Amino acid sequence: MRIAVTGGAGYIGSHTCTLLLAAGHDVLIIDNFNNSKSDVLDRIEKVAGVRPRINQTDITQADALSAVFSDYRPDAVLHFAGLKAVGEAVENPLEYYRVNVGGSVSLFQAMENVGCNKIVFSSSATVYGDPDQVPIVENHPLRPTNPYGQSKRYVEKILEDWGQANSNLAAVNLRYFNPFGAHPTALLGENPQGIPNNLMPYVAQVATGQAAELLVFGDDYDTPDGTGVRDYIHVMDLAAAHLKALDLTVRKAGVKAINVGTGNGYSVMQMINAFKRASNREIPYRVVDRRPGDIAECVADPSFAFELLGWKSELGLERMCADAWSYQNSLK
């Protein structure tokens, strides 16, 4: 198939592109390199043996995007492009809605113009907000607590409405839990610019000595050791879920939301210890106050993904930490 991959130069998109190319798809990455670098294309090529096409377009530029679609005429779209920092979204909600919602609408319009009606969208577990119970099932109420989460919810809703109007639309909203890890070759991984927002990229920087200590945001949650519990998923497992979701769009029209997690929750302390084992380094940490807006626990019920896509996670915590550590070392 001819697949347009928005944000394909980013962390999750680049790993997914290696699998798409290896499966024989023709891949066009559409990315403005706002949060990635063009050398990722060489790395994808090294891993997959095929170079993806690239078009450096901003998804919010509707006319330019439509021109790319008229030229490429994709069979399907994987839509990763967007902004993803929760704190930044709280400070600058309009920019988040402009890019994440406005950019998505431009994209859907460009798809409609060329009769492309298959899409897999990068949604997030953040659409659930503070869950009533864990593990979380897909029909849990959606009550995101910040503009980033709202932007994901709105795009899911726009796809639902588009699906009401167009019975040929096949859309899958993949609700990612906490992606972590890197490509086993250490050629691809997550390399955030500036101070990392998320736990594990920060832990990796503490392990190398780039950061002095980790701040643990609260140890008084109602969890076994008091620190926050999350469902960490290997980025290669997540990438594999996209190919299964793409298969679903070929088999069936309709709009679906699917959790992509492992079903296993680990606390901040468990993650620190797992990374210590993988890296054989000390991870100094200090417990501080809770981070505003954080929740105690967020763990997926992944059974719908297995039922609908035949997908389940295969790579465990040790592997996530080992691959992330190899990648971190490759950056030196």
- Residues near ligand UFG (CB under 6 A) are 84, 86, 124-126, 176-178, 197-199, 202, 214-217, 228, 230, 268, 291, 294, 298
Contact map string, positions 3 to 22, toward ligand NAD, x by CB under 6 A: ---xx-xxxxx---------
Residue of 148, 154, 232, 266 marked catalytic: 148
Report the alpha-carbon distance of residue 112 to residue 303 in Å, rounded: 32
Minimum Å gap between C-beta 3 and ligand UFG is: 24
> Closest residue (Cβ) to ligand UFG?
228
- In three-state secondary structure terms, 263 is coil
Q: Residue 261: how many CB atoms within 10 A of its CB?
A: 28
In the block, residue with structure tokens 């295969």: 314
Report the residue number, 48 or 295, with the smaller CB distance to ligand UFG. Answer: 295
- Please say whether the beta carbons of 9 and 40 come within 8 A: yes
User: What distance in Å separates the CA atoms of residue 33 and residue 148, rounded to the nearest whole number?
Assistant: 20
SS3 assignment, position 55: strand
Binder of ligand NAD out of 179, 181, 189, 201 (CB under 6 A): 179
Q: Which two tokens stand for residue 139?
A: 């029909």
Residue nearest to ligand NAD (CB): 10
Report the residue number, 106 or 251, with the smaller CB distance to ligand NAD.
106
- Residue 84 interacts with ligand NAD (CB under 6 A)? yes
Nearest to 141 by CA among 123, 124, 128, 159: 128
Contact region for ligand NAD (CB under 6 A) — 54-62, 107-115, 159-167, 272-280? 54-62
| Spatial CA neighbour of 324 closest among 285, 277, 260 | 277
Interaction of residue 232 with ligand NAD, rule CB under 6 A: no
Residue 47's binding partner among ligand NAD, ligand UFG, none (Cβ under 5 to 8 angstroms by kind) is: none
Distance (Å) of CA 32 to CA 58, 155, 230, 233: 5, 20, 31, 26
x/- string (CB under 6 A) for ligand NAD, residues 96-135? ---x---x------------------x-x-----------
Q: Which stretch binds ligand NAD (CB under 6 A): 2-10, 210-218, 220-228, 273-281?
A: 2-10
Answer for the pair 172, 121: CB distance below 8 angstroms, yes or no: yes
Tokens read off for 170: 């096949």
Q: Residue 285: beta bridge partners?
A: 214
Smaller CB separation from ligand NAD, 64 or 287? 64
Give burial (CB, 10 Å; 0-12/13-18/19+) of 222. exposed
In the shown chain, the binding pattern of residues 60 to 79 toward ligand NAD, with x for contact by CB under 6 A and - for none, equals x-------------------
Tell me whether residue 97 is one of the annotated catalytic residues. Answer: no
Of the residues 58, 95, 112, 247, which one makes contact with ligand NAD according to CB under 6 A: 58
Size of interface with ligand NAD, in residues (CB under 6 A): 26
Q: How far is the CB of 176 from ligand UFG (least distance, A)?
A: 5
Distances (CA, A) of 295 to 127, 134, 221, 223, 260: 13, 12, 8, 11, 19
What's the burial of 84, exposed, middle or buried (CB within 10 Å: 0-12/13-18/19+)?
buried
Which string of x and - marks every residue 22-51 that binds ligand NAD (by CB under 6 A)? Answer: ---------xxxxxx---------------
What the block records as the tokens of 246 is 């793409």
Catalytic residues, by residue number, are 148
Binding site for ligand NAD (CB under 6 A): 6-7, 9-13, 31-36, 58-60, 80-82, 84, 99, 103, 122, 124, 176, 179
